[in-house]
Amino acid sequence: MSHLDVQNRRIENGFRLTRVGITGVRKPIIVSRHDKDNHVTAEIDLFVDLPSTQKGSHMSRNVEILTEMIDESVRRKATSLEELAAKICRELLDRHEYASYGEVNMRADYFLEKTTDTGRNSLEPFKLIARATAKRGNELMKLIGVEVEGMTACPCAMETVRTRIAGDSPKMAEAIGDMPMITHNQRNQTTLMIEVPEHVDIEADDLIDVVESSLSSPTYGILKREDEASVVINAHRHPKFVEDVVRDILGKILDRYGQLDDSVHVTVRSESEESIHKHNAFAERITTLGELRAIEDK
């Protein structure tokens, strides 16, 4: 060992460190799936743990791994962001021989073609989230996640408005019937993440579908007049609290991934940029498939 290897020095009275590494690395990645290449720019964090006896982690090894596995293998495309994260995570444990834990986090912009009510195609932006974690000697765990922007319309204000307007006259009450009434609606940001053992395959596109179908309405870049009205009417026919969004997603996750193990972790978070307030409304469930099933059985 060179005396210049300051990181490798033995120290006494050190403390173990949970995570040591680099954050904010940006890299272009090609994800090739179902015969389609997605070129994404990922923001990446890499960590290993550090035993109490060693002064420093060799952080340049982290960048070497990224360079070899991403920069120099442009032609070896990743089949998914989480699969690439898993490979990098294994390399982390290989090259940091002193580490017992490795972690790789990635986030990237992602685009999917969606179709509006009138059949117009619109290329919509989403965020992909991938994480791989491994304890040496144990199976690697991978997390697949999506961030989806959409629309929520408030069911509570809708009922209060209906009562107030219907209260003006019985004739009005009859006319409006169960017509969707005005309410506040707004941009909503919902995150869905599932953590599974490495051999399990989850499609990010499916997670985006689960979230979009649980909002008051998906949103689109391009909307001509008739599409716009359809989105507005659709959203007001499905008024939802953030609580409803999270629960509808949980129900669909149980339906779609019922075959997976009880230990699978699920995180759902929904935040609405309330148009009537300057603050946001927020709902979250952090759970396992096992817990969700137990509740369902009640």
**Subset of residues 62 to 121 that bind a copy of itself, contact rule: CB under 8 A:** 63-64, 66-67, 70-71, 109, 111, 113, 121
Examine residue 10 and tell whether it contacts a copy of itself (CB under 8 A): no
Could you tell me the two tokens for 121? Answer: 């195609």
Examine residue 255 and tell whether it contacts a copy of itself (CB under 8 A): no
CB 180 within 8 A of CB 158: yes
In this complex, which beta carbon is closest to a copy of itself, that of residue 194 or of residue 199?
A: 194
Examine residue 204 and tell whether it contacts a copy of itself (CB under 8 A): no
Tell me how far apart the alpha carbons of residues 149 and 125 are, in angstroms, rounded to a whole number: 9
By the 10 Å C-beta count (0-12 exposed, 13-18 middle, 19+ buried), 148 is classed as buried
In this complex, which beta carbon is closest to a copy of itself, that of residue 199 or of residue 255?
A: 255
Closest distance of CB 1 from a copy of itself, Å: 13
- Residue 118 neighbours by CB distance under 10 Å: 11
Q: Give the contacts of 280 (CB within 8 A, at least 6 positions apart).
A: 271, 272, 273, 274
Examine residue 284 and tell whether it contacts a copy of itself (CB under 8 A): yes
In this complex, which beta carbon is closest to a copy of itself, that of residue 8 or of residue 200?
A: 8
Q: What angle do CA 257, 40, 286 make, to 5 degrees?
A: 35
Footprint (CB under 8 A) of a copy of itself, residues 112-171: 113, 121-125, 149, 151, 155-157, 159-161, 163-165, 171
- Give whole-number Cα distances, 24 to 62, 86, 189, 219, in Å: 12, 18, 22, 30
Closest distance of CB 138 from a copy of itself, Å: 19
Residue 222: CA atoms inside 13 Å, Cβ hemisphere, count?
A: 10
Examine residue 34 and tell whether it contacts a copy of itself (CB under 8 A): no
In this complex, which beta carbon is closest to a copy of itself, that of residue 263 or of residue 275?
A: 275
Closest distance of CB 94 from a copy of itself, Å: 18
